[in-house]
């Protein structure tokens, strides 16, 4: 497996941001009432991820270390603004459905996390593939959740009625907020089963890392956190 394929595999399977690392939970739970919403949110984030990784990697030797996070946010915010305007121009209904969650891509921890942990430390091409892999992993996660919620909650897939209402009664809780948590829980449980099988084959998936797990070793903000704890 070459380094580019490894980046794709890493984002989609090994370190899937939704089912393994549990990142970006706000849009994951809020916009996945339908498959098309999940797909739209995932692809929008993927575009920003790819372009931000590209630019941050290209300018990694120019951006001063002391202002790297503000610089990353400016780059991401500029790209998100472009994506938002494009969606409003060409995908008005989807833009309206996603609402405020498109501008909030600016502070999506997946994007800033990849910028800090990978793009700012690696060449352009691997960073692009890292963005593609993580973006596709996020898109797959949101689309899967949206598919299950839409099918059980409305009997539809991508807006097409696949379960006849003559015999199927929609379970409306699945298109409400509690349904998002239920579906996410079952899909994460499924991913844990896959993790166990892969571990048995000697190919373990990544363990969740970062602030929630107390892992500061690979965090670019570890020194800052240590300074705050000492205050």
DSSP 144-190: HHHHHHHHHHHSEETTEE-S-TTT----GGGGSHHHHHHHHHHHHHH
Query: pLDDT by residue (tens digit) across 14-58?
Result: 888 888 888 888 888 888 888 999 999 999 999 999 999 999 999
Distance of CA 88 to the CA centre of its chain: 21
Q: Indicate the pTM of the whole model.
A: 0.81
**CA 21 – CA 178 distance, rounded (Å):** 21
Please choose, from the candidates 149, 199, 205, the residue with its C-alpha nearest in 3D space to the C-alpha of residue 173.
149
Average pLDDT over residues 188-192: 86
Per residue in 67-112, pLDDT (tens digit) is 888 899 999 999 999 999 999 999 888 888 888 889 888 888 889 8
Q: Give the SS3 label for residue 36.
A: helix
| Residue 181 CB-half CA count within 13 A | 4
For 89-126, the DSSP string reads HH-HHHHHHHGGGTGGGGG-HHHHHHHHHTGGGS-HHH
In whole angstroms, what is the distance from residue 99 CA to residue 109 CA? 19
Q: How far apart are CA 99 and CA 17, in angstroms?
A: 22
């Amino acid at each position: 497996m070459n380094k580019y394929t490894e980046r794709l595999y890493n984002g989609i399977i090994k370190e899937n941001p939704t089912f393994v690392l549990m990142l970006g939970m706000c849009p994951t739970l809020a916009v996945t009432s339908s498959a098309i919403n999940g797909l739209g949110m995932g692809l929008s984030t993927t575009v920003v991820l790819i372009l931000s990784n590209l630019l941050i990697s290209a300018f990694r030797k120019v951006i001063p270390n002391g202002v790297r996070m503000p610089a990353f946010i400016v780059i991401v915010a500029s790209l998100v603004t472009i994506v938002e305007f494009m969606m409003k121009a060409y995908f008005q209904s989807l833009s309206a459905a996603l609402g405020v969650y498109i501008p909030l891509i600016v502070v999506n921890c997946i994007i800033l996390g990849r910028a800090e942990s990978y793009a700012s430390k690696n060449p352009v091409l691997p960073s692009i593939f890292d963005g593609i892999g993580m973006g596709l992993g996020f898109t797959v996660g949101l689309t899967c959740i949206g598919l299950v919620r839409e099918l059980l909650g409305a009997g539809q897939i991508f807006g097409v009625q696949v379960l006849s209402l003559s015999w199927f009664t929609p379970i409306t809780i699945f298109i409400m907020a509690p349904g998002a948590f239920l579906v996410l829980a079952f899909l994460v449980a499924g991913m844990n089963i896959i993790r166990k099988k892969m571990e048995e084959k000697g190919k373990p998936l990544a363990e969740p890392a970062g602030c929630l797990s107390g892992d500061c070793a690979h965090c670019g903000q570890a020194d800052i956190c240590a300074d705050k704890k000492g205050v």
